[in-house]
Homo-oligomer: A and B are copies of this chain.
Amino acid sequence: MHGLYLVTDRGLIGDRRITDVVTAAVEGGASCVQVREKDASTRELVEIATRLRYLLHSLGVPLIVNDRIDVALAVGADGVHLGQRDMDYPTARRLLGPDAVVGLSVETMEEVGQADAYDVDYLGVSPIFATPTKRDTRGAWGLDGLARVRRRSQHPLVAIGGLDVSNAAAAVEAGADAVAVVSAICAASNPRQAAAELVAQIDAAMSARS
């Protein structure tokens, strides 16, 4: 997991088509898309994920489903993202198999330590900053917290929460391998340009780091 990671929110996407916004984000350089629509029924979620699955496979970009392993299996998604209130990691891995991408949110250093025992594909360090799009989390990590997770864990890190073009580079400097955004793309009037600007920041910071 690296670069720019888009998490969907159809509320923020509004009247636009989710496939149009996701297409624009990928054209702008997003390298991974997670469908996260907490208010959707299972049927709606399968319909949205099916459309994104065909779109993203044609674009060569992986589709991750938030929480719902059944939906991921139904649509042939590349993997799932698990929160700490979602299915436990070992069970999710068993249901999805060794080739699926499985990411896990960590909100405390204790959870970071627990994840040492797991062959997760990445840890979602969440939230870096407080954000209105995800409210069921504990305190925010901050960039210092992200740097502490970086020193503590061997797993690839996806930073999420309150990230945009103003702080994406700082997240990479603090140790993020990828920067996940919701509103910075879903609420942007020009999602392609928003993604391209984020990718430019992320790439520059990544080059400076290595």
Contacts and interface: CB of A to CB of B under 8 A. Distances in A.
Contacts of A41: 85-86
Nearest to A50: B91
A88 interface: yes
A155 interface: no
Interface string A85-125: 11110010001000000000000000000000000000000
A74 B87 contact: yes
B70 A69 contact: yes
A33 interface: no
Contact of A85 (B44, B67, B69, B84): B44
Contacts of A68: 42, 70
A197 to B, nearest CB: 35
Contacts of A71: 70, 87
Nearest to A42: B86
Given A41-B85, A85-B41, A86-B43, A95 B67 contact: no
A91 B46 contact: yes
Contacts of A95: 70, 73-74
Interface string A59-88: 000000001111101100000000011111
Given A43-B85, A44-B85, 9 more contacts: A42-B85, A43-B84, A43-B88, A68-B70, A69-B74, A70-B71, A70-B87, A74-B91, A74-B95
10 contacts: A42-B67, A42-B85, A42-B87, A43-B88, A46-B87, A70-B73, A70-B87, A74-B87, A74-B91, A74-B95
